[in-house]
Amino acid sequence: MKPFFTLIVLIQLAHLCFGCSKKAAVSEDDSATDTINNQNSSDETDSSDIRYFDTDPQSECPHPKVVENCTDGWCEIPAGCYIWGSPPDQLCRGANTETQVQVTLTRSFVIQQTEVTQAQWEAAGFQNPVVDGINSQDVGSNKPVVYINWYETMAYANALSENEGFDTCYDLSSCTGTIGSGCPEGDDHCDVDDVSIDVFMCTDDPHKYDDWYACPGYRLPTTAEWEYAARAGTSTATYNGDFKNVLNSNDFQIESTLEPIAWYRSSENAGSIHDVSQKYPNRWGLYDILGNANEWIDYVVTGFSLAINEGVNGPLVDPMGVKIPTTARRGQQGGSYRKHACLMQVAWQSESGADDRTLADGFRLVRTLLANK
């Protein structure tokens, strides 16, 4: 094992110590309709109103039993079926982008238990873009690395793949610029039009595999994978249930459903980026899947729903969305510490140019579990 990856593993193990007391016991009951038996057992979360997907293997859309299976900072997510998107009556939903559709993922995958931290990023040999950011409190080894654009996530993914002997998922030969160069000191946002910095970006489509799920190496999650992992078997707005308050998209309100699980912007918490693993994880064992850093995904945002982007009404199998030139705007999910409560729901997506860097944009990676790979 190469030196920097050894360090990454040690860092990931250390991260698992953060919030260990917050991990919730997972029910042994297979029934997804019994909210008492499926609820998070923590006294700090309120799961009495959580709805769950059907785990009956004979159902039209069987979701696997949710059991935490995390090792060295990576959590295994089994293949299964769920409903992507949000119902029409959900608060703050994207009316055109979140239309529900049945999705089946045919391949299991592993996903990082936390957002990639600054220590993990630096261990891969890249400079830390946060040090020149607008807020000195954002610098910290256990805080998510931010000021990262879509292309830079792929450079990190390739580095992990190469050091574990996997084929890389991305061809970055058309890319120029400096990875991790961040933004001009004191700026909270920058892109390729800012001539004072050397932004890393590519002119060609970086994907090496037509079927992104078939790549054996590390990569960004698709929107289908990200939402499936974030929901952890639940069909409510968050993995801790629906919102308790009538939220206004322009107000920074406190929402009790979010308090145990997410860093978000409220009247009491304008804040900064936080150390990972300080809130309660979902039932797969994933921390900060809502809030803290906004997470890049591999998805082109068109203003339409996943089914329309696939060109199929549904059900969908291993969807990726549309494939168009790299200048397209790319998706982000999970929200951040700068977003208000109304946007802290699993199905909500933001978007940004692939070359954009902001003080709240981070990521986590996945890897398909392929046989004999």
**Residue predicted with more confidence, 109 or 328:** 109
Q: Parallel, antiparallel, or unpaired for β 366-368 and 316-317? A: unpaired
Predicted confidence (pLDDT) at residue 21 exceeds the cutoff of 90: no
Predicted confidence (pLDDT) at residue 360 exceeds the cutoff of 60: yes
Distances (CA, A) of 356 to 134, 313, 315: 16, 32, 33
Mean pLDDT of 95-119: 97
pTM: predicted TM-score of the whole model, two decimal places: 0.88
Among 33-42, 72-81, 285-294, 352-361, the least confident range: 33-42
Predicted confidence (pLDDT) at residue 27 exceeds the cutoff of 50: no
Predicted confidence (pLDDT) at residue 53 exceeds the cutoff of 70: yes
Mean pLDDT of 237-263: 87
* Residue with tokens 């801790």, as numbered in its chain: 240
**In the prediction, which pLDDT does 45 show?**
53
Per-residue model confidence as pLDDT tens digits over 160-212: 999 999 999 999 999 999 999 999 988 899 988 886 889 999 999 999 999 99
Per-residue model confidence as pLDDT tens digits over 298-328: 999 999 999 999 999 989 999 999 988 777 8
- Mean of per-residue pLDDT scores for the chain: 86
